[in-house]
Structure 1
Amino acid sequence: MSSIKQFQVTFDCSEPERLARFWCEVLGYVVPPAPKEFATWEEYHRSLSPEDQVTYFACSDPSGAGPRLLFQRVPEGKTVKNRLHLDVRVGTGLVGEERLATLEAECARLIPLGAIHVRTLYDGNDSCIVMQDIEGNEFCID
């Protein structure tokens, strides 16, 4: 029986590098170094044929604990609600007003990055904030 130790989350998108850099800011992730024969990712992408340029971009957790995120360009745009979304866990262990205040502070940090506040769910003790990233993908601040 196999025991999977690592996994990658892949997003279909229209602008892989832009979306990857957004999620780096959200999660504190980093862009891995470019292949060793290239000084930058831009230089690497320029070396590819025009049809292959910037078809994907990745970012990863610098601690190695979280999954790698891969963003791949697809021709079609997003048309319906995500079947899968990320929960950004900033309020773990908090309840009530303290939890809500922590989530709202994170929401305020993400809006200038291009995130959109969709709605706040609050029942007096538990809460989460539904947001969209810069390409309209839903995620929650939890």
Structure 2
Amino acid sequence: TKTVYENVAFAMEIVGESRRSIRRNVPIVLSVVGLRDKAQARPSELSGGEQQRVAIARAMINNPVLILADEPTGNLDPANSESIMALLNEINAAGTTVIICTHDRTLVDRMDKRGIEIRNGALVRDEQHGQYAVAELAYATHD
């Protein structure tokens, strides 16, 4: 099993980054996600929130223009959910587009960001300050 450092470095290795670049950039990204002190930890030694931060670090290490986050708070307690969303907001504020797929109504309502709904491959709703629609939630759960 890879350490936190090795897990994030792997994302750079597979795109051909140099060892020097990896040694320089991995600690920076681990600091950004609040895991620099956990660099040598293994996944089994991390909390759910910390594991999610590793996934975010791995996603952002190669400076993508877009991050797709599928249920990033799905298995987290409220405090860790809030922390992960704050981190994704920081990444977005720094210029990376972040698309989050979630069923967490309170998360959507609290974020006050553009919200879209896609049903059966078609865009059915697009709002600049999206709110999770109860009627659509009920509809989606009965599809």
- The two structures have a TM-score, normalised by structure 2, of 0.23
- The two structures have a TM-score, normalised by structure 1, of 0.23
| Structure with more of its chain in helix, by fraction | 2
User: Greater RCO between the two (CA within 8 Å, min separation 6)?
Assistant: 1
| Structure with more of its chain in strand, by fraction | 1
